[in-house]
């Protein structure tokens, strides 16, 4: 018995270290396996939840965050209240055709067209000037002045003594009409939208430098193209026979 014990003790002394090391490794491996299994049970639901969240984000991704979103064309300017699309002003100018009417009912041309490129003599004051433009339409003081076409009033003011009180209307085709020598009691204001033949005011005598001319009682009328160049109104309006030419 003592021999067996001695052999065991001798064996344990020689091989004991490896036995203990093996047992420890087995314990460590077992603990690690149990821990890993427990952690897996806790992590799995979170992983699934994360996958669902990713799928939702992918399916509802906003197009405004996607590359190239800035390249989407902006919508045409429109009235968002009514949903009516309003074309670009430049497009309207190129496509719209407008009929211009005589701003004085049955008015005849009393001063021929001038684009300001040549001086005109102001006989009453014995001077020459290039500021007189457009045509003069024969009209007595107090005669109603009518809008030649539908448009928007862009200016209302008082010019020099060759122009007097005036109104400027911009039309959808890019052209403008100018009404001068008006009475101070103008019935429209800037930014008003007017209809064709709507009354703007009355003929006055505010162009004081022209009061001694044969056409003194008149409406000064100018027609400008989209580049603000003077155009002979006679090309667009059929006036009566010229008076006091």
Tell me the pLDDT tens digit for each residue of 212-232. 999 999 999 999 999 999 999
Domain-embedded: residue 75: no
User: Do 61 and 111 fall into the same domain?
Assistant: no
Residues 117 and 207 in one domain: yes
Q: Are residues 105 and 29 in the same domain?
A: no
Same domain for 31 and 127: no
Quote the pTM value: 0.61
The answer as to whether 8 is a domain residue is: yes
Is the residue at 79 inside a domain? no
Domain final position from 18, 46, 65: 65
The residue assigned the tokens 């001319």 is 213
- pLDDT value of residue 22: 73
In this structure, what DSSP letter does residue 95 have?
H
Are 105 and 188 found together in one domain?
Answer: yes
Return d(Cα 17, Cα 21) in angstroms, integer.
6
The answer to whether the beta carbons of residues 138 and 214 sit under 8 Å apart is no
Domain identity same for 167 and 229: yes
Residue 70 lies in a domain: no
Split at pLDDT 50, 70, 90, the class of 169 is: very high
Specify if 85 maps to a domain: no
Question: Which pLDDT score is estimated for 216?
Answer: 92
User: Which pLDDT band, with edges at 50, 70 and 90, does 200 fall under?
Assistant: very high
What distance in Å separates the CA atoms of residue 177 and residue 168, rounded to the nearest whole number? 6
User: Does residue 112 sit within a domain?
Assistant: yes
Q: What is the CA angle 163-147-198, rounded to 5? A: 130
Mean pLDDT value across the chain: 76
Whether residues 49 and 132 share a domain: the answer is no
| Other beta carbons within 10 Å of 116 | 14
Q: Please indicate, yes or no, whether residues 217 and 125 belong to a single structural domain of this protein.
A: yes
The domain boundary residue, chosen from 18, 49, 65: 65
Residues 46 and 111 both lie in one domain: no
Mapped to the 3 state alphabet, what secondary structure does 59-87 carry? HCCCHHHCCCHHHCCCCCCEECCCCEECC
Return the CATH number at 128. Answer: 2.70.70.10
Q: What average pLDDT does this structure show over 182-204?
A: 98
- Number of structural domains the chain divides into: 2
Nearest to 179 by CA among 99, 104, 97: 104
Residues 61 and 155 placed together within one structural domain of the fold:
no
Query: pLDDT digits over 133-164, tens only?
Result: 999 999 999 999 999 999 999 999 999 999 99
231 in the same domain as 147 = yes
Q: Which of 234, 16, 211 is nearest to 112 (CA)?
A: 234
Percentage of residues in the chain having pLDDT higher than 90? 56
* 186/230 same-domain check: yes
Cα distances from 204 to residues 44, 211, 242, in angstroms, run 92, 11, 20
Domain-ending residue, one of 45, 65, 85: 65
Binned at pLDDT 50, 70 and 90, residue 78 comes out as very low
Domain presence at residue 74: no
- Structural domain including 222 reads 99-235
Is residue 29 in some structural domain?
A: yes
């Amino acid at each position: 018995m003592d021999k067996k014990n001695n052999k065991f003790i001798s064996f344990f002394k020689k091989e004991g270290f490896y036995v203990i090391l093996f047992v420890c490794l087995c314990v460590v491996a077992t603990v690690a396996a149990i821990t890993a299994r427990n952690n897996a049970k806790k992590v799995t639901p979170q992983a699934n939840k994360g996958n669902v969240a990713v799928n939702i984000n992918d399916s509802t991704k906003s197009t405004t965050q996607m590359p190239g979103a800035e390249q989407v064309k902006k919508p045409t300017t429109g009235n968002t209240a009514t949903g009516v699309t309003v074309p670009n002003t430049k497009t309207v100018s190129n496509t719209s055709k407008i009929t211009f009417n005589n701003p004085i009912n049955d008015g005849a041309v009393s001063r021929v067209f001038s684009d300001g490129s040549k001086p005109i003599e102001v006989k009453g004051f014995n001077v020459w000037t290039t500021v007189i433009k457009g045509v003069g339409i024969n009209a007595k003081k107090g005669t109603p002045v009518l809008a030649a076409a539908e448009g928007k009033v862009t200016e209302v003011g008082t010019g020099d003594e060759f122009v007097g009180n005036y109104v400027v209307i911009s039309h959808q085709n890019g052209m403008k009409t100018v009404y001068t020598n008006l009475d101070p009691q103008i019935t429209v204001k800037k930014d008003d939208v007017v209809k064709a033949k709507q009354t703007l005011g009355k003929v006055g005598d505010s162009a004081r430098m022209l009061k001694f001319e044969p056409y003194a009682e008149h409406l000064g009328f100018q027609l400008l193209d989209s580049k603000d160049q003077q155009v002979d109104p006679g090309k667009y309006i059929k006036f009566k026979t010229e008076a006091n030419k």
